[in-house]
Structure 1
């Protein structure tokens, strides 16, 4: 999975997402529903995200962490957002203090070295869930132009999803008849084609023009970032029905 962002830029993206998540949680309140995550409230999302940060730090250290009591502790905290911040700070400290060649488990296709992998993964995990909380404050899924997400962070997130998540053997994206989905950012030189069959999808990155496709989705990098993670319906595409089989939270 190539990335044009540095370790420091991924940590900066995580920091920005944390600030936005906390700000919009304050605007929305903790017990309002999250439109882009059916059956979730902001409180549940905060508990989930805080548990993810703690799980990521523990995984990087090679430790097992029992998920349910950690998530429950976050939801029942007297200040869930402050609890979330504490976990994010501890995660960043763990990554910053680690050696560049630290050995740790990773789980995406063609993943980067662990320290870089976990900084990137938590940058995007937190960014997407912060956009969810913005949607809770708005009462509807957020549009890309309403978010803080910059084109470089968004394009990096598109890379991670299409080149890291989608090609895994566990990917739910399947088609009885082979079909190629073209993903074309309108504000970047690159594009992608995803071959979907009854086996694991195959993604090809094209750095020299528009990717070919039977189905096509086009938009800015930020619009595609949210659309590919099933966080917005602002793009009109003939690939929508197929892509919505990618269940991601």
Structure 2
């Protein structure tokens, strides 16, 4: 995917997230983020977008950006987030070096565009689930959301590469094994090697992978959701402990 594609995804999913959040209402629970309300979801994505907006204008060797503080009033919160995400999109429009938190991503706005595309897409999904579950909603909106195979497969690839940073779950792993991750409609396969107390080793392949201990397979959309621990139709088979370790992001 090209840089401008990721920027467009940030815009598209943030608009849809906002619409779903408004439809659900600030006090609606978010089923896919236990303990969160929609207000907390919007606060979270607003803080992230504001923080990254600052990161994209911070020199590569500059200090980490500070995190903005969200307002309490719901209308003010939405307006505050609107300003921050507009700033973020402006900053992402041009590819240039900048501060980056994740060492495996490019220290540039290109790295941030990809990261924020998937951050925003997954939280859009959360907002859609909240709207679908709200008492005043007559029908679920979630089935209408199907992520594009290329985009979802890229999200799988990004998440697998970021796993050692986004989660320390691997530090307590006690199982050894290999997991095949297969996004069928995107034609992409990854093999993840798990070892006790070690970061996972991830490799993408187009060849036969031999014997594996567990498999996570389905459409790219389904596997994307499964690896982010969202409701999914992906098929998980093999040794339960090994498969659970991969999904314990």
Q: TM-score, normalised by structure 2?
A: 0.84
Write out per-residue CA displacement over residues 194-244 of structure 1, whole angstroms, 9 at most, x where no aligned residue.
111121110011134567521111110011111101111433414553234
2:103 and 2:144 map into 1 onto residues whose CA distance is 29
Number of aligned residues = 234
1:32 to 23, 28, 37: 28
Query: Who is 1:104 aligned against?
Result: 99
Query: Who is 2:86 aligned against?
Result: 89
* SS of residue matched to 2:215: strand
**Residue pair 1:10, 1:119 contacting (<8 A) in 2 also:** yes
Q: How does 1:149-160 map to 2 (within 5 A)?
A: 149-160=147-158
Q: Any gaps of 5 or more consecutive residues in structure 2? A: 135-139
2:79 and 2:177 map into 1 onto residues whose CA distance is 46
Structure 1 residues 143, 19: CA separation in 2 closer, same or farther (over 3 Å shift)?
A: closer
By relative contact order (CA 8 Å, sep 6+), the higher-ranking structure is 1
**Residue pair 1:191, 1:209 contacting (<8 A) in 2 also:** no
Over the aligned positions, Cα root-mean-square deviation in angstroms equals 2.5
- Deviating 4+ runs (over 6 angstroms): none
2:151 corresponds to 1:135: no
**Residue pair 2:179, 2:193 contacting (<8 A) in 1 also:** yes
Answer with 1 or 2: which has the greater Rg.
Answer: 2
Task: State the 1:156 CA deviation.
Answer: 0.9
